[in-house]
Structure 1
Amino acid sequence: MLFINDLSFAYTRSKILKSISLTIDNKDQIIALLGPNGAGKTTLLNVIANYYQKHTGHITREDYKVFMLPDMAYIPQDMTVNSCLRDFQELYQYFNRERAEQMLNYLNLDFSKKISDYSKGMKEQLHLVFALAQDVDYYLLDEPLAAVDPLTRDILIDLIKRYRRPKSVVIISTHLVQDMEDLFDEIVMINNGQVILYKTTEELTREYSGMDLDSIYKEVNRHVNAR
């Protein structure tokens, strides 16, 4: 279980997160962390990952293992897929090489090819592969679906569904939710550094009958911004 109580975080005088309280049970679910740019999504993921430690409030992680996929390239461009497999096995305690190779073979990738020689879409897939190959309890994926074409997005979604560690929680920050009801089990919405909603997708679609997730997201944020 992830338990957050009255969590706040600030850069100098600028408060990014404001008294956030959130409890997430591990139910083998995929969670959308939704919010406009600047809402505090990335900061919240960094706090959960324990990268940002100078916060107020309380967070209980119950010794969970976590891997965060940032919204930028984290694998050196001059590495080959083979060298990534070798180095990740040395550097990351929970790296599962067998599962990484399964994903790479599923994508039919050339292990001897350099990262720099792949297209932008293929690089996105590679970065996700090496994130999902970690045997962790929580995967924190920061905007993995942004700036990719629809075909690449479908491949990334398939990887997340098919290859994440069983009985794990995936939290995906995004502002792109059109046609995503089938991916997300739960929805957390954040706006202006505050959690404004946390419900299951089923609860939301029942409450906002006849509306898709994208429309619900816009409607909820409209009400918040009108206050």
Structure 2
Amino acid sequence: MVCVKNLSFRLQKIILNDITLSIEPKGQIIALLGPNGSGKTTLMNVLADLYQKYEGNVHDVGKVQLLPDYAYIPEDLTIRECFNLFGQVYDTFNIEKAIQIFSYLNLNQDQLISSYSKGMKEQLHLAFLLCHDVDTYLLDEPLAAVDPLTRDILIDLIMKFKTNSGVTIISTHLIQDMDKLFDEVIFMSNGKILLHNSVPQLFEKYPGLSLDDIYKEVNRNVPFN
């Protein structure tokens, strides 16, 4: 059980404000939704243990791999060279899974990362994330800059290679394009969690509304700081 209790984080101002959250990992994909500045990225960085000077408690997240919203793969290397590098750096990197994923994508493992298009580089970053054997995947806006066709490929990749015993949390603004991917939803605003529920329970509570419409409805009367 991923447990977050009374979590607060501040820099010049409060970014996370007394968050309490419990997630039972069972292979589900959770949407982390909220406007810019709501604290989504900060929450992910805390869960990934990148931000450590916070108030409150975070327990049982397990092994974590974060896909940040910026490029981090060395572009002067080939895919095969990245296999060797990541295998040396990360004890969670599964070379057999990496070969399987990149064979599935039908990518030339001896091609330089720098030679790929922007959309292909998005695929590479997601693929390398999924090569890790971890309990928690955290994806920060993984599909923000890709075309609809590439988006479908990436969604398929997540569904096929995600963890089946842990949890995958995806921060995104593309609710309409990804709503069929999610099992649960967390709505954030102003550093607080407004709602955490399963998608079927949300549809039961808000009959006739899409996930995008539910998001708008929940946020309609929330003041923006």
Q: Per the shorter chain, which TM-score range?
A: over 0.9
Aligned to 1:169: 167
> Could you report, residue by residue, the CA deviation over 1:36-79 in whole angstroms, capped at 9, with x for unpaired residues?
111110000000111100000111126x1110110000101111
Aligned to 1:46: 45
User: What is the aligned length?
Assistant: 225
Hey, what's the Cα distance between the residues in 1 that align with 2:163 and 2:215? 28
Equivalent runs, 1:16-165 vs 2, <5 Å: 16-61=15-60, 64-165=62-163
Q: Structure 1: which 5+ residue stretches go unaligned?
A: none
Aligned to 2:182: 184
Instruction: Percent identity, please.
Output: 56
> Could you report, residue by residue, the CA deviation over 1:121-165 in whole angstroms, capped at 9, with x for unpaired residues?
110000011100100000001110112111111111111110123
User: SS of 1:182's equivalent?
Assistant: helix
The question of whether the paired residues in 2 share the 8 Å contact of 1:145 and 1:153 is answered with yes
Q: Which amino acid aligns with 1:54?
A: K
The question of whether the paired residues in 1 share the 8 Å contact of 2:8 and 2:14 is answered with yes
The question of whether the paired residues in 1 share the 8 Å contact of 2:119 and 2:145 is answered with no
Normalising by structure 1, we get a TM-score of 0.96
Aligned to 2:5: 5
Q: 1:198 aligns with which of 196, 199, 204?
A: 196
Hey, what's the Cα distance between the residues in 1 that align with 2:146 and 2:204? 30
Hey, what's the Cα distance between the residues in 1 that align with 2:6 and 2:16? 10
Q: Which amino acid aligns with 2:8?
A: S
The question of whether the paired residues in 2 share the 8 Å contact of 1:179 and 1:213 is answered with no
The question of whether the paired residues in 1 share the 8 Å contact of 2:16 and 2:191 is answered with yes
Stretches (4+) displaced over 3 A: none
Hey, what's the Cα distance between the residues in 2 that align with 1:31 and 1:74? 24
User: SS of 2:221's equivalent?
Assistant: helix
